[in-house]
Amino acid sequence: MEFHLEKISEYKYRIPKSYKPGMRVDGIIYAGNKLLESIKKDKAPEQVANVAFLPGIVNYSLAMPDIHWGYGFPIGGVAATDPEQGGVISPGGVGYDINCGVRLVKTDLVLEDLKGKIEKIVNVLYNDVPSGIGSKGQVKVSYQEEKKLLLNGAKWAVAQGFGVKEDLEYCEEFGAIDGADPDSVSERAFERGKPQAGTLGSGNHFLEVQVIEDIFDQTAAEVFGLRIGQIAVMIHSGSRGFGYQVCDDYVKVMGKCLSKYAIKVPDRQLACAPVTSPEAKAYIGAMRAAANYAWVNRQVLMYLVRESFGKVFSKSWQSLGMDLIYDVAHNIAKFEKYIIDGKEKVLCVHRKGATRAFGPGNPELPDRYRNIGQPVIIPGDMGTASYLLVGTKKAEQETFGSTCHGAGRLKSRSEAIRTVDYEGLIKELRQKGIEVRSSGKNTIVEEAPSAYKNIDDVIEVVTQAGLSKKVCKMRPLCVVKG
C-alpha cells in the first residue's frame, strides 16, 4: 500500500490505521513543511506505523520532529501501553543507550570572563573527562558496590562525594528510579559497567560550554537564574556499555516472547512482552538499574566538569555558581498516570529519543519549578544552538507529557564519514568561534552539523504545536565529543 501522511494541522500529520492491517491505532508525526521531506525520505514513518501494532497501545503511535530511523521504534518515538489491556513493554521502545540524557549546569561566569581562556577550558575538559570508545573512569567499584550504585543512582554518587544533595532535587526521578533489580542484570553487563562510570563515551555524547544568546521567557529564565551573556555547560551521556548490554540481553529474551504470548508485530525488533509477564518484570528491573547507572554517570561527569572549571579559574565550583538546572532522561520507559476516556490509568510510556515535558503544577516537579513547568533541554549539533524550554499541560494531554530530544539525524554516521571533509569542518567551526576536541576524527565528522536537521526548525514544531515553551537559546563556544 502506498505510504501517505494526512495533514491534520500545520505541525501534525497522521498515518491512518487503515495503512496496514494490524495497526491498532493511528500514527501521529509532529513536523513542519521544512522537515517533512527529510522525514519522508527516511524509513522512520514506517516504524511509526509498525509501533501501532503493539498490544495495548493507547491513543496513537507518536513521533517527534527529530524522528529518524532506529532499532524497532524510530528515534523520536513515543508510545504508551495499558497493562490492564494486555499492554506490552519493548526494549526497542527504550533503546540501547538506556537513559541517555542531558543535564544543564549554569555558572555565574559571563562571556567576558572566558576571553582568552576557551582553548584552555576545552583542553582541560578533554584531558580530565574520560571520553571515547571503551574509556575508563576514576570510579572503581567492586561487584557489591556496583549493586549499590545500581539501586541508588545519583544518590550513591553524591554519598561518595561526587556532588551535593541539592543536585538530586534537579534530576528527573531525583536521580534514582525505584524498582531497580541488579539480580535481573547479566554478569556481562556488570563487567562492562564496572570501569565506565564517569565517562563520556562515544558517538553523539558530548560536553559543551555555551553562552546564553537569547531569552524568550524572562519569568522562567529568572526562576532558573539565567540571563543573556551567561555561561552554561551541557552534558550529554548515558548508561554506556552497561545499558547496551542490558538491552542486548533482553532483546534476545523478548524475541522468544512473541510466540509464547502470541504477539504479532511486523518487525522482530519490536520484540516485547506483556508488562505483567515475568520477562517484562525482569527487563523493567534491569532497565531501571541501567537508568540509575546513567544518573551516576552524569553526576560524576558534572563533578569532573566542576573540578575542571575550578582548575581553570582557580576557584571552587560553588564560588563559580555551578549549580544544576536540571537533568532529563531520554530512552526510558516509565509508569505514569493519565486520563484516558475519562478514567485515570497507569500507562507504560516508552520514550525513545524523546524527553519528558510535564507542565506547570505537576507534582513530579521540584517545588522551585512547579509554577513554570519541567525544564526541557534540547541540544542542537556542535555547530548550532541548543535550547532550554519548559513542558506544557498540552504535552501531558496530547503526547503523554513528551517532546523531542534533539535535532535528529539527517545522514547516517557512515554517510557523514563519506561526505564530510574533516579539515574543512574544523575550519568552519573555528570561524564560528567553536573549539572542538575528540578522541578521533571520525567522531567529529559523524557529528557534523550537516548530518543533523536544523535545530531551529525542530524547536519551531514543538513550540508551535504547544508541546514545549522556549525559555532561552545557547550558542556553543567549545565542545568535547566522545
Mean pLDDT, range 168-189, rounded to an integer: 97
pLDDT of residue 3: 63
User: How confident is residue 147, by pLDDT bands cut at 50, 70 and 90?
Assistant: very high
Q: Percent of the chain scored above 70 by pLDDT? A: 98
Please report the pLDDT score of residue 278 as a whole number: 98
Q: How crowded is residue 427: how many other Cβ atoms within 10 Å of its Cβ?
A: 10
- Residue 69, amino acid: W
**Residue 1 pLDDT:** 45
For 428-465, the three-class secondary structure string (H helix, E strand, C coil) is: HHHHCCCEEEECCHHHHHHCCHHHECCHHHHHHHHHHC
Average pLDDT value for residue range 137-156: 90
Separation of alpha carbons 331 and 240, rounded Å: 13
H helices within 199-324, ranges in order? 218-224, 240-255, 257-260, 278-313
Burial of 233 (0-12, 13-18, 19+ CB in 10 A): buried
User: Phi and psi (nearest 5°) for 387?
Assistant: -130, 145
Rounded CA gap, 219 and 3, in Å?
44
Mean pLDDT confidence for 112-138: 87
How far, in Å, CA of 237 to CA of 290, rounded? 13
Structure confidence at residue 135 as a pLDDT band (50, 70, 90):
low
Long-range CB contacts (within 8 A, 24+) of 413-419: 413/203, 413/446, 413/451, 415/451, 416/445, 416/446, 416/447, 416/448, 416/450, 416/451, 417/442, 417/445, 417/446, 419/450
- Helices of type H across 99-238: 118-128, 143-152, 154-159, 165-169, 187-193, 218-224
- By the 10 Å C-beta count (0-12 exposed, 13-18 middle, 19+ buried), 424 is classed as exposed
Hey, how many other C-beta atoms are within 10 angstroms of the C-beta on 65? 27
Q: Set out the domains of the chain in order of their start, with CATH numbers.
A: 6-481 (3.90.1860.10)
Confidence (pLDDT) at 132: 65
- Reported as a pLDDT band with limits 50, 70 and 90, residue 302 is very high
So what's the pLDDT on residue 51? Answer: 98
Quote the pLDDT of residue 410. Answer: 81
Nearest to residue 61, comparing CAs of 349, 423, 278?
349
- pLDDT band for position 451 (50/70/90)? confident
Compute the distance between CA of residue 426 and CA of residue 439 in angstroms, rounded to an integer.
14
For all residues of the chain together, what is the average pLDDT? 94
Cβ atoms < 10 Å from Cβ of 282: 18
Strands 57-68 and 26-30, how do they pair?
parallel
Kindly report, residue by residue over 273-298, the tens digit of the pLDDT.
999 999 999 999 999 999 999 999 99
The confidence score (pLDDT) of residue 141 equals: 84
Q: What is the pLDDT of residue 50?
A: 98
Structure confidence by residue, pLDDT tens digits, 343-363: 999 999 999 999 999 999 999
Calpha distance 443→479 (Å, rounded): 12
Collapsing DSSP states into helix, strand and coil, what is residue 402? strand
- The answer to whether the CB of 243 falls within 8 A of the CB of 99 is yes
Evaluate if residue 430 carries a pLDDT over 80.
yes
Output the pLDDT for position 471. Answer: 98
- CA Rg, the chain, in Å? 21
pLDDT at residue 119 greater than cutoff 80: yes
Rounded mean pLDDT of 161-168?
97
pLDDT (0 to 100) of residue 464: 97
More confident residue, 410 or 435: 435
For residues 182 and 387, give the distance between their C-alpha atoms in angstroms, rounded to a whole number.
35
Distances (CA, A) of 366 to 107, 218, 221, 277, 333: 20, 19, 16, 33, 21
Average pLDDT over residues 187-212: 90
Say what the pTM is.
Answer: 0.96
Residue type, 62: L
Mean pLDDT on 413-440? 88
Residue 336 has a CB neighbour count (10 Å cut-off) of: 17
Q: Let me know if 405 is a catalytic residue.
A: yes
Query: Does the pLDDT of residue 134 top 90, yes or no?
Result: no
Residue identified by cell 567553536 is 434
**Rounded CA gap, 141 and 300, in Å?**
14
> What whole-number percentage of the chain has pLDDT above 90?
81
The predicted model gives 430-455 an average pLDDT of 87
Answer yes or no: are the C-beta atoms of 476 and 455 closer than 8 Å. no
Q: Alpha carbon 153 to chain centroid distance?
A: 17
| CA distances, 289 to each of 163, 194, 214 (Å) | 20, 13, 38
* Catalytic residue of the set 205, 236, 330, 405: 405
Res 74 pLDDT > 60? yes
Give the number of other Cβ atoms within 10 Å of residue 3's Cβ: 12
**pLDDT bucket at 413, cuts 50 / 70 / 90:** confident
DSSP 171: B
- Tell me what pLDDT residue 100 has: 96
